[in-house]
Structure formats: C-alpha cells, structure tokens
C-alpha cells in the first residue's frame, strides 16, 4: 500500500480510532454561513476492537431504522445533547439519530447516562472527563464540541478509549469579534455601570463621562481568526490598530492596515488592549504584574479569549492602582467565577458570562457545523474538524511512524524558535531520500510538519484532511524539495527531513543558517527521531522529552557546568550533544531533558559567562 493512502493522528491515539482515507477526497472545501468551513470526506472505518461492555451496564437495545446510505436496516444511533443546541442542528441530528436533549445535567447524571449513547454533544459548560469517557467506553464513539475550545474535554482519555472528538472552529468567530467590540464600546462609555446606577434610581451624568475610541490605539494580542475580525471592525471605528502575534502572516496584517509589533511595543503603546490568543503554556498568565507595569497608565483591557491568559490577582492590583483604568471580561480562569470574586465585583470591571459565541446566528452555525460533523463521524466519515485525528494502517505505520513523528517534532521545535514581529512567511520542507516520487508520497509528512507548526500556537487542530487548508488559512506557504540520496539501495524511506522557516526572526540566533533561515534537520536512528542539525551546527540528540539549546564559546568544561546546574535541580539529562563551527569558536549544546527546568535553573544556565544564548523547547 502506498504511503499516500494513509492518515495519522497524534501518536498516542488508540487503534480503535483508526481510519483510512482515499487520497482523492482529501481537499473538499465548502463555504457556508459566511465562514469558510471544511466538509467531511467519506472514508472507511477500520475494525474497531471495542472493549467488552459489562452485562449490568449494557445500553438499551438500539431502535432499528434505515440509517445507512445504502438503505440497509441497521440500528439507529443515539445522540445525547448535554447543552442547548440550536433547533437547526437538532434537525440535522434527528434525520439520522435518536436525539435526547438533557440540558443542565449534574456530573453524576451525565456519568449515569453516557453509556447509552453513541455520541455526546457539549459546549464549554460540560466537563467531559476521563470518568465520563470511561463510562461511555464500548458505545460512545464521538464527542462533539459545539464551539472552538476543547479545554473541557479530556482529549487523551478520549483517544485512549477510541472516541473521536470533533469541534466547530469557525462558526462563532464573528460573534466573538462582535462581542469584543461590544465590550470595548460599552466599557469606554460605562454603559453597564450607568445602567445599574439608573436602575437603582441614580441619575449620575457627571460620574459616567466616558472616553472616545476614535484616534486611540488598540493593540490586538493574537492576530488569528477572532483577532483579525476585531481589527477590521476597530478600524471602522477610527481606531489606530496594531497587533502582536509572532506567528501571524505579515501580509494579512498589512492587507488590513494593521502594524505587527513586538509584545512590549504592543502593550506599551496601547490605549486599549484586546486579547485573542489561545490559552497555551506560553500564554498562561502572560498578562501579569510585569506586563501591566509596561503598559500606559490608564490602559483599558478587553478579554474574550480565555481567562487563564491573565493573572487575575495581578489585574485586581493594577485596577486598584489605576494602572489599568478599566477591564471588560467575558472569560475567567474558573468559570463560573466565585460569587465574591474581587475582579468580577470591581467597579471598573464590566463582565459577561462567557457570551462571546452566544448569538442566534453563531449558535445556529455552530449547531449545524457540529451536527454535520457528528453525523459524518457516526457514518464512518472523517470530519476535517476532528481534533484527535485519524491514523494510518499498521503496515504504513510500521515504516513511516518514526518519520511522521520526526516531521511533527521538527515543526513543533521550529515554531518555538520564532520571535519578533515579522510573522512566518515561507516554510520549506526538504526530504533527502533514495526513493522516487512514486514510492514516497510526502503529503503525510507535510501534514505533520504543518501540525507541528500550527497546533502549539493556535486553537486549530490539524489532521491530514485539513492540513493544507489550515496552513493556507494561516498564510503559511509550504514548499517541498526532494533531494536524491546517493545510496539508492538504502532501505529507509528517508535519509533526513529538514524544516526551513524563511524571513523570520529567531529567539535563538544559533538556529539561523548562513542563508538567514531557521533550519532544523532530523533523522531516524534505530527507529527513534533525532535532531541532527540546528542552523549551521551539527548535533545529535534524541527527540524525546524536552530540549535545551545553548550557544556558547567552544571551551572546556561547559558540559560539566550545565550538567551540574541541571543535576542540582534534579533535572535528568536524557541526551547531550555538542556541535561547533571551529575549535575555540562558536558551539551549541543540545540537551534532552526529562523534566521541565524551572525559571531559576534556566537563568542559572544563562548566567554562565561563556553562554551567549539559550532556549528551552517543549516537544
Ligand atoms: N469568548 C468566547 O466565547 C470565544 C469565542 C471564540 C473564540 N474564543 C477564544 O478566542 C481565542 C482566539 O480564537 P481564534 O479562533 O481567533 O484562534 P486562532 O487560533 O485563529 O488565533 C489565535 C492566534 O493567537 C496567536 N498566538 C499564539 N501565541 C501567541 C502569543 N504568545 N502572542 C500573541 N499571539 C499568539 C496565534 O498565532 C494565532 O494567530 C481562543 O482562546 C478561543 O478559545 C472565545
Ligand atoms: O471556545 C468557544 O467556542 C467559545 O469559548 C464559546 O464557548 P461556548 O460554546 O460555551 O459559548
């Protein structure tokens, strides 16, 4: 079987979720409800060795009806809708399945019910925990998230029990952007405070004098789907819009008349700051005492992204001191927030209960998008919005698995090296192989590089079906080059894979090649992906755990010094490799570590006099 007939999800996915897709159907796109969306493509579900269901917990018998496209009689699937879904979506579901809407269930009620259903649909208010997924094991095949964020679904557990998770990533973008603008305007004019005062009988015209928006600088933090829609609307209000997003395409920003700037410049120049980045380890509490201190006194902040990007205690301090004049928040670290939350009760704070996606139109769009994805998945089709993606059949996996993992890891490392404000422009993937184009289809590898580049910095989930579309959406131009390997007798499908990011700045200058690109190259050795080139430096480090890269003057004792610091802090080194240009000149150390070193440990490494720069990268 050719490699081109295969798909691969995250390596931990269980065999029960295995799906194969014909290459001819890989790129069907459709435009709908104003937002571009991907259609599902038909594919064959490979045999799913479902776990045996205990006699006592067996679900009730299925109702028999004609649900197959071939008209054959087979059981009608059952779908549990746990949160309010628009009628349009329910109608799509009812055509294919028995639908039960059980809104507002307690966790115990959900746990008791879930084993009777083939699919479960939720929004952000229902926690789909490991316990829930375990309870559904054997019958529950799909969890549909009617919205973007899947922070409430235990993805790892879903994958382990062979349950596909699909989401609806685009239909609520405009609604979230409009809510951001609504909060911006109502905060600036004290609408909610004045409304509350008037309803309490107070006519306070002098107290609620607002500030104007026209001519003010708005910084958009995260220039993705929602951020760019907010920018477009704010320009219409006469605001000067700048943005910070290290991974956004500069062309798209330019087309909207938005200047991309560094983090410090964005927060330092802004009168208003609107947050639109995903909650990922690098953005967690990124707005904290230190960043508030760099803002203009009297700045105003809007958050319709995720509560966790703000250190909420620090925001209360900044509001109390007047550093931040006002905040308008739709999202909170814990939802719902405590009733006595000082942030929510602060008089200079406007709050809404996570309403960004809550418009009639968005909920209709999201409901249809998720209903179609769930029905498609129950039919054995692969949704382009599958979050824990599909994988390749065993015979393909056995040969390509380590290269697939290598491709994703190179993408993942490369994107973490990006810095500055120019955004990623060109991506080139170079394969050195003894095989001809007919023997090695590189789509899977290209998709995995895209997955590695996109997933760590966005709320987009990439699988083989949507990889090229996801790259295009983000303005990533991915080109490929095949370099013939000298030894045509070589058995391995690939000698090496190289990922080059052009026209980017890097937070680690040592990763920049002589040609000015971020360059990472890897090989598979004894079935394990290895990093073998960083910029111009040859290294050899197994890609397991996490990685520290240090650039230093080549001199004796460096390995010992860094090793000591890590050892003292109980950080286990799994691999270490040094590469240098010339003796006594520049060298880099690539260190594989099992644990994540804390900030102080990394600072101690950086403080070694011969170390010129270092970076910690997560795999
Ligand atoms: N309040 C709501 O109801 C609601 C509705 C929709 C989306 N959201 C949330 O809004 C956020 C944005 O959603 P989206 O659909 O626009 O996602 P997206 O993936 O399209 O955009 C996120 C952008 O953030 C950028 N980014 C990543 N790390 C960054 C960093 N350190 N600094 C600056 N930018 C960074 C990415 O490059 C990307 O361009 C998500 O957190 C999503 O869950 C909330
Ligand atoms: O992630 C999302 O799509 C938004 O935060 C909306 O969540 P909701 O569907 O619970 O409104």
Segment 323-375, tens digit of pLDDT: 999 999 999 999 999 999 999 999 999 999 999 999 999 999 999 999 999 99
Q: What's phi and psi for 528, nearest 5 deg? A: -115, 135
pLDDT at residue number 71: 54
Atom of ligand 1 nearest to the CA of 457: 27
Report how far residue 76's alpha carbon sits from residue 97's, in angstroms, rounded to the nearest whole number: 6
pLDDT at residue number 434: 86
Does the pLDDT at position 41 exceed 50? no
Average pLDDT over residues 137-162: 92
CB of 328 shorter than 6 A to ligand 1: no
Report how far residue 13's alpha carbon sits from residue 112's, in angstroms, rounded to the nearest whole number: 26
Ligand nearest to the CA of 149: 2
Report how far residue 219's alpha carbon sits from residue 265's, in angstroms, rounded to the nearest whole number: 9
CB of 416 shorter than 6 A to ligand 2: no
Report residue 102 as tokens: 């059980």
- CA angle (308, 312, 315) in 5-degree steps: 130
Kindly tell me the burial class for residue 256, based on how many C-beta atoms sit within 10 Å of its own C-beta (0-12, 13-18, 19 or more): middle
Higher-confidence residue of 388 and 198: namely 198
Can 306 be counted among the known catalytic residues? yes
pLDDT at residue number 36: 34
CB of 551 shorter than 6 A to ligand 1: no
Q: Which residues contact 370 (CB under 8 A, 6 or more apart)?
A: 85, 89, 121, 144, 145, 146, 166, 167, 168
H or E segment to which residue 78 belongs: strand 78-81
Can 335 be counted among the known catalytic residues? yes
Q: 426-438 pLDDT, tens per residue?
A: 899 999 988 877 7
CB of 123 shorter than 6 A to ligand 2: yes
50 pLDDT band (50/70/90 cuts)? very low
pLDDT at residue number 28: 26
Contact criterion met (CB below 8 Å) for 447 and 503: no
Does the pLDDT at position 140 exceed 70? yes
Ligand nearest to the CA of 358: 2
pLDDT at residue number 570: 86
Does the pLDDT at position 86 exceed 60? yes
Does the pLDDT at position 19 exceed 90? no
Ligand 1 centre distance from Cα of residue 395 (Å): 37
Does the pLDDT at position 49 exceed 50? no
Atom of ligand 2 nearest to the CA of 146: 9
Q: Which of 22-26, 147-151, 199-203 has the lowest mean pLDDT?
A: 22-26
Catalytic residue among 95, 335, 600, 603: 335
Interface pTM (ipTM) of the complex?
0.99
pLDDT at residue number 425: 74
Ligand 1 centre distance from Cα of residue 224 (Å): 6
Q: Which residues contact 166 (CB under 8 A, 6 or more apart)?
A: 142, 143, 144, 145, 370, 373, 374, 377, 383, 385, 386, 387
Ligand 2 centre distance from Cα of residue 252 (Å): 25
Report residue 508 as tokens: 């680690």
- CA angle (361, 362, 367) in 5-degree steps: 100
Does the pLDDT at position 228 exceed 60? yes
Kindly tell me the burial class for residue 538, based on how many C-beta atoms sit within 10 Å of its own C-beta (0-12, 13-18, 19 or more): middle
pLDDT at residue number 301: 98
pLDDT at residue number 55: 30
Domains of the chain: 78-167+365-379 (3.40.50.720), 172-351 (3.40.50.720), 394-617 (3.30.1330.90)
Q: 379-395 pLDDT, tens per residue?
A: 888 778 888 865 455 55
- CA angle (6, 10, 12) in 5-degree steps: 115
**Region for 275 from its dihedrals, namely left if φ exceeds 0, alpha if ψ lies in -120 to 50, beta otherwise:** beta
Average pLDDT over residues 514-528: 93
Q: Which of 110-114, 247-251, 446-450 has the lowest mean pLDDT?
A: 247-251
> What percentage of residues in the chain have a pLDDT greater than 70?
85
CB of 283 shorter than 6 A to ligand 1: yes
Q: Which of 15-19, 90-94, 131-135, 361-365 has the lowest mean pLDDT?
A: 15-19
pLDDT at residue number 11: 32
Ligand 1 centre distance from Cα of residue 292 (Å): 20
CB of 308 shorter than 6 A to ligand 2: no
Higher-confidence residue of 394 and 149: namely 149
Q: Which of 34-38, 219-223, 351-355, 380-384 has the lowest mean pLDDT?
A: 34-38
Contact criterion met (CB below 8 Å) for 310 and 335: no
- Could you tell which of 178, 222, 307, 501 is best to mutate to test the pocket of ligand 1, judged by most ligand atoms within 8 Å of the CB? 222
Protein residue with least CA distance to atom 5, ligand 2: 149
Q: What's phi and psi for 305, nearest 5 deg? A: -95, -90
Report how far residue 479's alpha carbon sits from residue 342's, in angstroms, rounded to the nearest whole number: 51
Question: Which residue has 């829930």 as its token pair?
Answer: 132
Q: pLDDT averaged over the chain?
A: 85
pLDDT at residue number 488: 57
User: Edge-to-edge, what's the strand order for the sheet holding 611-617?
Assistant: 573-580, 586-593, 546-553, 611-617
Q: 478-515 pLDDT, tens per residue?
A: 999 999 887 656 678 899 999 999 878 899 999 999 88
- CA angle (82, 338, 104) in 5-degree steps: 15
pLDDT at residue number 314: 98
CB of 224 shorter than 6 A to ligand 1: yes
Does the pLDDT at position 69 exceed 70? no
Average pLDDT over residues 34-51: 32
Contact criterion met (CB below 8 Å) for 225 and 399: no
CB of 304 shorter than 6 A to ligand 2: no
Atom of ligand 2 nearest to the CA of 149: 1
Atom of ligand 2 nearest to the CA of 459: 1
Report how far residue 348's alpha carbon sits from residue 344's, in angstroms, rounded to the nearest whole number: 9
Higher-confidence residue of 445 and 6: namely 445
Q: 3-state class of 442 per DSSP? A: coil
Higher-confidence residue of 608 and 370: namely 370
Does the pLDDT at position 7 exceed 60? no
Atom of ligand 1 nearest to the CA of 149: 43
pLDDT at residue number 376: 92
**Region for 30 from its dihedrals, namely left if φ exceeds 0, alpha if ψ lies in -120 to 50, beta otherwise:** beta
Catalytic residue among 306, 474, 523, 530: 306
Ligand 1 centre distance from Cα of residue 276 (Å): 4
57 pLDDT band (50/70/90 cuts)? very low
> What percentage of residues in the chain have a pLDDT greater than 90?
61
Output b/e per residue, 427-457; b: 16+ Cβ within 10 A: bbbbbbbbbeeeebbbbbbbbbbbbbbbbbb
């Amino acid at each position: 079987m050719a490699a081109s007939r295969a798909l691969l999800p995250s390596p931990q996915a269980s065999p029960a979720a295995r799906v194969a897709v014909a290459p001819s159907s890989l790129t069907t796109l459709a435009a709908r409800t104003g937002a571009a969306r991907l259609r599902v493509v038909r594919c064959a579900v490979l045999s799913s060795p479902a776990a045996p269901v205990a006699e006592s917990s067996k679900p009730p018998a299925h109702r028999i009806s004609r649900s197959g496209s071939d008209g054959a009689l087979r059981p009608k699937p059952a779908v549990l809708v746990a949160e309010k879904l628009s009628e349009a979506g329910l109608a799509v579901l009812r055509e294919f399945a028995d639908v039960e809407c059980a809104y507002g269930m307690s966790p115990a009620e959900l746990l008791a019910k879930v084993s009777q259903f083939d699919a479960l649909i939720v929004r952000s208010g229902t926690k789909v925990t490991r316990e829930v997924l375990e309870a559904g094991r054997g019958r529950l095949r799909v969890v549909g998230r009617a919205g973007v964020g899947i922070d409430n679904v235990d993805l790892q557990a879903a994958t382990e029990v062979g349950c596909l998770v699909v989401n609806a990533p685009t239909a609520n973008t405009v609604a979230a952007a409009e809510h951001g603008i609504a909060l911006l305007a109502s905060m600036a004019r004290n609408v909610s405070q004045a409304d509350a005062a008037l309803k309490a009988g107070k006519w306070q015209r002098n107290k609620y004098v607002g500030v104007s928006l026209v001519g003010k600088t708005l910084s958009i933090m995260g220039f993705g789907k929602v951020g760019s829609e907010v920018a477009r609307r704010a320009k219409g209000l006469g605001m000067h819009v700048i943005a910070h997003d290290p991974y956004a395409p500069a062309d798209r920003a330019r087309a909207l008349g938005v200047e991309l700037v560094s983090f410090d410049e964005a927060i330092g120049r802004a009168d208003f700051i609107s947050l639109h980045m995903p909650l990922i380890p690098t953005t967690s509490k990124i707005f904290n005492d230190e960043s508030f201190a760099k803002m203009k006194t009297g700045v105003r902040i809007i958050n319709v992204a995720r509560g966790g990007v703000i250190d909420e205690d620090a925001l209360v301090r900044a509001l109390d001191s007047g550093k931040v004049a006002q905040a308008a928040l739709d999202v909170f670290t814990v939802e719902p927030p405590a009733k006595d939350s000082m942030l929510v009760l602060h008089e200079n704070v406007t709050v809404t209960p996570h309403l960004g996606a809550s418009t009639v139109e968005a909920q209709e769009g999201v409901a249809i998008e998720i209903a179609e994805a769930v029905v498609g998945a129950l039919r054995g089709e692969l949704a382009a919005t599958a979050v824990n993606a599909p994988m390749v059949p065993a015979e393909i996996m056995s040969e390509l698995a380590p290269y697939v993992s290598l491709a994703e890891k190179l993408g993942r490392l490369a994107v973490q090296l990006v810095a500055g404000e120019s955004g990623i422009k060109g991506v080139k993937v170079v394969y050195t192989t003894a095989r001809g184009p007919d023997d090695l289809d590189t789509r899977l590898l290209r998709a995995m590089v895209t997955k590695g580049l996109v997933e760590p910095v966005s709320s987009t989930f990439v699988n083989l079906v949507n990889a090229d579309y996801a790259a295009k959406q983000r303005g990533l131009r991915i080109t490929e080059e095949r370099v013939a390997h000298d030894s045509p007798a070589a058995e391995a499908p690939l000698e090496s894979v190289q990922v080059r990011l052009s026209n980017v700045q890097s937070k680690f200058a040592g990763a920049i090649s002589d040609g000015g690109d971020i360059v990472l190259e890897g090989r598979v050795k004894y079935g394990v992906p290895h990093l073998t080139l960083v910029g111009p430096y040859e290294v050899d480090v197994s890609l397991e755990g996490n990685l520290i890269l240090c650039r230093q003057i080549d001199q004796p004792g460096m390995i010992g010094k860094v090793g000591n610091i890590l050892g003292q802090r109980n950080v286990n080194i799994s691999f270490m490799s040094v590469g240098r240009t010339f003796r006594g000149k520049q060298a880099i150390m690539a260190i594989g570590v099992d644990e994540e070193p804390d900030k102080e440990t990394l600072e101690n490494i950086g403080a070694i006099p011969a170390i010129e720069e270092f970076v910690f990268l997560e795999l």
